[in-house]
Structure 1
Amino acid sequence: MKLVSWNVNGLRSVANKGFGDYFRAVGADIFCVQETKLQEGQIELDLGDEYETYWNYAIKKGYSGTAAFTKMKPLSVRYGIEENEEPEGRIITLEFEKFFLVTVYTPNAKRDLSRLDYRVEWEDRFRDYLVSLDKQKPVLACGDLNVAHQEIDIKNAKSNRGNSGFTDEERGKMTTLLEAGFIDTFRFMHPDRTDVYTWWSNMPGVRAKNVGWRIDYFIASERLAPLITVAEADCDILGSDHCPIVLELTID
């Protein structure tokens, strides 16, 4: 089974920059996107008849939002951590026979860290939610988690320490999540691999020089680890300030 996750930073924008070509070429069984930045009816995507589509729109126009496109019809679909409590459209949970799939766009702490307290509280609720799902069946959670967990996950660790996305608080919450029974699938497959990032600043020359952050993840229940065959980032795919990430595993 192949899964793809991509923070598209505006689905309407990336739709004009080759999204459809990549979508068809990658042939994912489940394709998740974050930061769609649109409302219902604002885009028409030709994904083919084989895909079911699910959307979680933010109340605020042009902000946040998630979507999931799947060849496998889910048993159930849930929006938000708690039903009807998620005005920023950040989470969709698809339940399948053998696993849960959660696509998530984690809140940013903001440059001035004015939203750090909210972010930390949100992380606790999200972890508790994944743990509760994991008690029922294995979990795959994917998306933009807005944190570079280890120094190996960011180009300039020393100068960025304490900045949004690389604070001790955010990194600590990722550690706590993994200690709750989950793995970072990329780091599980590539424990020492350097210079693989999923987000780059829009400042001139930054992406060409690969001065980036790895902040997009596939997180999996530990018991799924033996089933993982591929965990990669498609760093050469343009159209967004993030690149897609890919996970393949032997699960139906």
Structure 2
Amino acid sequence: MTRLISWNVNGLRSVIAKGFFDFLDSKSPDILCLQETKLSEGQLDLELEGYTLFFNYAEKKGYSGTAVFTKIQPLKVTYGMGIDEHDHEGRMITLEFEDYFLVNIYTPNAQRGLERLPYRMKWEDDLRNYLLSLDVQKPVIFCGDLNVAHKEIDLKNPKSNQNNAGFTPEERSKMTQLLESGFIDTFRYFYPDRTDAYTWWSYMFKAREKNVGWRIDYFCVSERFRSRLVDAAILSDVYGSDHCPVELVIA
């Protein structure tokens, strides 16, 4: 069995001060994918026994960023999508293993007033093409903060959020298109009807305490990887960020 965990930590240095190493010791994933590390190169000198660490830093200080900590040595690691327009914010790391690709993704937020929605639409199309180009070679696992609640079941208040960033018809449609191009949302594969299952909560209005949240963090896999799926989980008891980790176990 291989255990993978993905977590938007909302600042790696911040979460380290809030029990990150205890979390790592208790869960001991084979692969840990992080988003929103908010690091610049040289800001954190980190060594973890048994893990090889890969970081993709945003050019803008204290912004975005991704990391992968892995016990399994990859054949190859690439950073970004290979498209200049998308590759300055540290939003993607791809690890090639013997029998699959793993892509760690931090999708751009459409932002207040949907200022970045047109860019987000371009990102979505290019991401889908990128994932499909890998899928031709071998199966793909992709994970991370995809910044979209796909269906009404995936957030507490769908009616009042219809045109807010992360739940616009445009973003939801792109997620549908991505899944229909040959990928499985693993949490919904195992738990199609589970309600109140969220991965992000606003820091305001005691949202987490009341479980008024959104499910915007995912593990998705190629359709032909279905037979290797063992379980998927939302680790909502893990604190330290406004997101909680999500987990995938594969055979």
Whether these two folds match at TM > 0.5 is yes
SS of structure 2 residue aligned to 1:192:
coil
- What CA distance in whole angstroms lies between the structure 1 residues aligned with 2:112 and 2:185? 25
- What CA distance in whole angstroms lies between the structure 2 residues aligned with 1:191 and 1:45? 38
The offset of 1:204, in angstroms, is: 3.1
Q: How does 1:181-196 map to 2 (within 5 A)?
A: 181-196=182-197
- What CA distance in whole angstroms lies between the structure 2 residues aligned with 1:51 and 1:154? 34
Q: How does 1:17-96 map to 2 (within 5 A)?
A: 17-48=18-49, 50-82=50-82, 86-96=87-97
User: Is residue 77–residue 94 contact of structure 1 (8 Å, CA) maintained in 2?
Assistant: yes
> What are the superposed Cα offsets for residues 167-204 of structure 1, whole Å, 9 maximum, x if unpaired?
00000000000010001000001000110100000003
- What CA distance in whole angstroms lies between the structure 2 residues aligned with 1:24 and 1:180? 37
Q: So what's the TM-score if we normalise by structure 1?
A: 0.97
SS of structure 2 residue aligned to 1:112:
helix
Unaligned runs of 5+ in 1: none
User: Is residue 20–residue 47 contact of structure 1 (8 Å, CA) maintained in 2?
Assistant: no
- What CA distance in whole angstroms lies between the structure 2 residues aligned with 1:101 and 1:142? 8
Q: 1:123 to 1:12 in 2, by over 3 A?
A: same
Aligned length: 249
User: Is residue 65–residue 88 contact of structure 1 (8 Å, CA) maintained in 2?
Assistant: yes
The offset of 1:45, in angstroms, is: 2.8
SS of structure 1 residue aligned to 2:167:
coil
Q: How does 1:105-184 map to 2 (within 5 A)?
A: 105-184=106-185
- What CA distance in whole angstroms lies between the structure 1 residues aligned with 2:83 and 2:72? 23
The offset of 1:217, in angstroms, is: 0.2
- Amino acid of the structure 2 residue aligned with 1:203: M
The offset of 1:44, in angstroms, is: 2.7
- What CA distance in whole angstroms lies between the structure 2 residues aligned with 1:62 and 1:105? 15
- What CA distance in whole angstroms lies between the structure 1 residues aligned with 2:10 and 2:131? 25
Q: How does 1:163-242 map to 2 (within 5 A)?
A: 163-242=164-243
- What CA distance in whole angstroms lies between the structure 2 residues aligned with 1:57 and 1:243? 22
The offset of 1:24, in angstroms, is: 1.4
> What are the superposed Cα offsets for residues 97-122 of structure 1, whole Å, 9 maximum, x if unpaired?
00000000000000110000000110
Unaligned runs of 5+ in 2: none
Q: Percent identity between the aligned chains?
A: 62
The offset of 1:210, in angstroms, is: 0.1
Q: Which runs of at least 4 in structure 1 moved beyond 3 Å after TM superposition?
A: none
